C-alpha cells in the first residue's frame, strides 16, 4: 500500500487544464481592468495619446472578456 502511485485520468487532466485556462484568463482580465483604471484615474490631464491607450486597453479587455466566457463555457462543459 505504501507504493501506490497517483493515477491521473484524462478527464482529470482536462478539468485541470480548463480550470487553469479560466484562472489565467480571469487574471489577465483583472490586470487589464487595473491598467485602465490607473490610466483613467491618474489625475494627469487627458491627452489624445492617453485616450488612445485607454481605448486600446478597452478593446483588448473586450477580447479578453470573450476569451474568459469561452474558457468558462469549456470549464463548465468538462466539469459537469
Taking the domains of the chain in order of start, what are their residue ranges?
A: 10-36+45-79
Contact between 36 and 54 (Cβ < 8 Å): yes
pLDDT tens, position by position, 24-80: 999 999 999 999 999 888 787 888 999 999 999 999 999 999 999 999 999 999 988
User: In the prediction, which pLDDT does 57 show?
Assistant: 96
Specify the length of the chain in residues. 80
State whether residue 29 is helix, strand or coil.
helix
Angle at 12 between CA 20 and CA 5, to 5 degrees: 115
- Give 12 or 74, the one with higher predicted confidence: 74
State whether residue 64 is helix, strand or coil.
helix
Instruction: Kindly state the cell numbers that stand for 65.
Output: 472578456
- Give 19 or 8, the one with higher predicted confidence: 19
Amino acid at each position: 500500500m505504501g507504493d501506490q502511485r497517483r493515477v491521473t485520468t484524462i478527464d482529470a487532466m482536462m478539468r485541470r487544464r480548463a480550470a487553469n485556462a479560466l484562472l489565467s484568463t480571469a487574471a489577465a482580465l483583472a490586470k487589464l481592468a487595473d491598467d485602465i483604471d490607473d490610466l483613467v484615474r491618474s489625475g494627469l490631464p487627458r491627452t489624445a495619446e492617453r485616450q488612445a491607450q485607454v481605448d486600446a486597453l478597452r478593446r483588448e479587455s473586450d477580447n479578453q472578456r470573450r476569451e474568459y466566457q469561452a474558457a468558462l463555457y469549456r470549464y463548465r462543459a468538462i466539469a459537469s
